[in-house]
Chain A
């Protein structure tokens, strides 16, 4: 029966191609708590995806997609990465129209190949999102995600739980503003010039690394809690394209360690 529905829907497949490219700046790529250890950098980030939306019933939509993502960092090339991924998601809308509440269950599986190949591995994100329009101009969205990254080098294995909420404002027909909050709990890797017995005491694992050059740093894997607030703006340039600007301020703690990240992103997004 499922195959019958799918084959029937494939006959009416609706392909959508999306591409984003732009720059991202991370004020603390090394996730360091001491200012002497902090290394910032910016990267050129691109993402291209092709997806197919299959409307299975009036309210239920199956999305299948494939994507290719990449980062090229200016100074710290060890973090350059490229990776393909595939995703599948079901979206259910409780009624008709864009103001109807919706829920989305989605899974993306991908492979990230780093220039520093020891960091390469497979990542999987299971994402649950929901949204509701509060008016024709304001929407509330939020969700929970479980992220896991598995690398041949166990040191880079990570598991993360993430919850987020955001308000989306359609300020004008061309301008959309989003204010968000994210709570993240899980493995983080923080780099510091040794000796750091204070961090070593509670780190899960540690390795000496050279991704940030000299002096050599030690990478500490920790369980961290991150609170982040974000502000994003999208301006629709034309029918298929928009320019997007985003800022996020994140504080990660694992007593007594605490570090901050300022993330700034600017990109052009195209969808067809």
Chain B
């Protein structure tokens, strides 16, 4: 085979792969039909080992809030927790998937935190009780966090069969209970997830009736 023929064949194979790749549009609603933001939609390929995570993720602390509220990462991702406020924060997690503590600090911690176990992690600040955020540590590189309109789009999924799941910080039960199987290839497919949600009881920054919260 001459080199030019090999190049053509390679190009054809790549194009064929692209043609087979597909997208999934996930629509997340609550049981009253309202769009649900901050839901993590993720697709797990049937029988295929996922590529290793390469990226770092960043969860900032600005104006005494974690930004973003929900972060999705592939297992094995290192997360940096910069503190952009002029005061100190004290980040912690009790979650089984990742227990850690970043004692009182300003600026950027020297070391990122490695999320090396799948699961859902709740973050807090020991100084500001209303500060809370979540990290979904997933076994797949195919995920997206739903926007305000409750939509998440997973693009360029290799063709194949996937199990699609959705998790939300207020989800009642486990995401496996709502899992949907889907074949990906070619055209974009849409999936609707209706989530049963617990009422939101996050501590608020506004003054309350307790003496313990901020004092």
Contact = CB atoms under 8 A, between A and B. Distances in A.
Nearest to A20: B207
B87 A139 contact: no
Interface residues of A, number: 46
A237 B209 CA distance: 14
B210 A12 contact: no
Contacts of A232: 209
A171 B42 CA distance: 32
A270 B201 contact: no
Given A55-B104, A89-B215, A168 B126 contact: no
B207 A97 contact: no
Interface in A221-272: 232-234, 236-242, 244, 269-271
A172 interface: yes
Interface string B192-215: 000000011111111111111111
Interface of A: 12, 14, 16, 18, 20, 53, 55, 58, 61, 63, 89, 91, 93, 96-98, 102, 104, 129, 131, 136-137, 139, 141, 143, 168, 170, 172-174, 176, 178, 232-234, 236-242, 244, 269-271
For the residues of B in contact with A, the DSSP-based class is: loop
Interface of B: 87-88, 90, 92, 94, 101, 103-104, 106, 124, 126-127, 129, 199-215
9 contacts: A14-B127, A53-B215, A58-B90, A58-B104, A98-B124, A102-B212, A172-B199, A269-B207, A271-B207
B212 A139 contact: yes
A172 B201 contact: yes
A244 B208 CA distance: 8
Contact of B201 (A53, A91, A93, A136): A136
A93 B127 CA distance: 11
A236 B206 contact: yes
B205 A141 contact: no
A10 to B, nearest CB: 12
A16 B199 CA distance: 29
B206 A240 contact: yes
Contacts of B209: 168, 176, 178, 232-234, 244
B213 A170 contact: no
B206 A269 contact: yes
A97 B87 contact: no
B120 to A, nearest CB: 15
Nearest to A137: B201
A55 B87 CA distance: 10
A4 B177 CA distance: 55
A11 B206 CA distance: 25
Contacts of A96: 90, 92, 94, 101, 124, 126
A126 to B, nearest CB: 15
Contacts of A58: 90, 103-104, 126
A236 B204 contact: yes
- A-B complex: 8 closest residue pairs judged by Cβ atoms: A98-B129, A173-B200, A131-B212, A269-B207, A236-B206, A242-B206, A271-B207, A178-B209
